[in-house]
Amino acid sequence: MNTHMDEHPVQLDVGDDLRRNRLTVFFRLILAIPHFIWYFLWTIAVIVVAILNWFATLIAGRPPEAFHRFLSAYIRYGVHLGAYLYLAADPYPGFLGEAGTYDVEVRLPAEPQLQVRWKTFLRLILGVPAFVIGTFLGGGIGFSVNVLFRGSGERFRARNSGGGLGGGGLLATVCAVLGWFASLALGRMPRGLRDAAVYGIGYSAQVRAYALLLTDRYPNSDPTMLLESVPRPPEHPVHLVGDAHDLRRSRVTVFFRLPLLIPHIVWLYLWTIAAILVGIVNWFATLITGTSPRIFHRFLGAYVRYQLHVYAFGSLAANPFPGFVGAAGTYQLDLALPDDPQPQNRAVTAFRIILVIPAWLVGAVLTYTLYAAAFFTWFVALFTGSAPWGLRNLSAYALRYLAQVNAYVYLLTERYPHASPLEGGEEPESEPFEPEVVEPLPA
């Protein structure tokens, strides 16, 4: 399988400068009410057009140009509105989905694309894995609206369809909630949260473009390809290293991956108990001395690294059976950690468990995303003997962020986890609420 892939026909251009108007941030949902109404009406029309477009494409092998333009404007408008709602951009969006008019813009095929008829016929079935991933990532506004009636009082509730066809995913939602508080306090959106939200928006746009037959290319969850126009934040002291290009997977070990994990699960559980106890002692020691004792630093570093090895093996982000000691440089997908204990601010150390709560929320979403990516990778690797590049890089992003959260909790670093799926820039960055991550292993 080639690790270097052609650019996806659906891409994002991001020109946002991170500054946010506190007043419009505070009233964002109220200001968006006209857009909610307009989007609901437009969605009804899109459902009708999408059905007609499906039949026309089955017959002609490509969508009619009028349908293509109408659906492209709808997806573009959804990206604009999604970026506004999820605080990935600040200006108030227009209502027509015009190209080149917003800070977060989506590039779509200008002309109707040729479609393979059997793929068109089975499009909604083939798209199920992407719809599921979109549930966790998606930052766009949903394609359909479920209308539910409950109880004898005919209580009405309309809700977005989640990630179904690319709607409001969990990652973008969590980043928006955290970003709302940060933007009110700082007057700017933390870069890491913005990047994660934009990632969800971009993937969401690819899902909708695929579902609505604007492209025959399957959505690509590789963050490095989706966010090519986004500047990379600097490298976090806790980041991934290792062989990024080996996607080969043994079908036998893939099939028996869960049974093979059992000894590691038992050992990781026992080690976790010890790590919690050592972590508490280390917290008191760091409060007193301002630095973790070296012996605690080495023990907890090995634990965090071992946990990454186990998760990488279990999620199929790596193939070899890992060792049991968390030694550096011993696994295909490894973790770089500070070699020596780092000086810690005592005030930050005292409130570490409270300060880490936002990162835990983002990490919880990425954990479920990792499970979904592992599930679909299992099927693909079983039949092809190779892991999909996009899912593998999505898994790497989740693994890296979770490792950074652990390293922050266990005082291996004072640097906050960075929620951006990218890393590798040169300019240092100083933003309170943002995590810093290593790039999902460059292609």
pLDDT per position as a tens digit, 321-365: 999 999 999 999 999 999 999 899 999 999 999 999 999 999 999
Amino acid at 6: D
Residue 168 pLDDT grade (very low, low, confident, very high; cuts 50, 70, 90): low
Cα 151 to the chain's mean position, in Å? 37
> Is 236's pLDDT higher than 50?
yes
Mean pLDDT of 103-131: 94
Token reading at 313: 């093996």
pLDDT given at position 47? 96
pLDDT given at position 366? 96
Token reading at 411: 């005082």
- How many Å apart are CA 64 and CA 377, to the nearest integer? 35
What's the mean pLDDT when you consider all of the chain?
A: 88
Q: Range with the lowest mean pLDDT among 62-76, 149-163, 331-345?
A: 149-163
Beta strands 11-14 and 145-150, pairing class: unpaired
Percent of the chain with pLDDT over 90: 81
pLDDT given at position 173? 94
Cα 6 to the chain's mean position, in Å? 21
Q: Quick one: which of 257, 259, 213 has its CA closest to 108?
A: 213
Task: Report, in angstroms and rounded to the nearest whole number, the Rg of the chain calculated over CA atoms.
Answer: 23
In this structure, the number of other CB atoms found within 10 A of the CB of residue 185 comes to 11
- How many Å apart are CA 376 and CA 386, to the nearest integer? 12
Residue with tokens 């027509």: 96
Q: Supply the pTM of this predicted model.
A: 0.87
Q: How many CA atoms lie within 13 A of 377 on its CB side?
A: 32
Q: To the nearest 10°, the Cα dihedral for 27, 28, 34, 37?
A: -120
- How many Å apart are CA 80 and CA 83, to the nearest integer? 5
pLDDT per position as a tens digit, 192-228: 999 999 999 999 999 999 999 999 999 999 988 888 8
Token reading at 307: 């946990």
Mean pLDDT of 399-406: 97
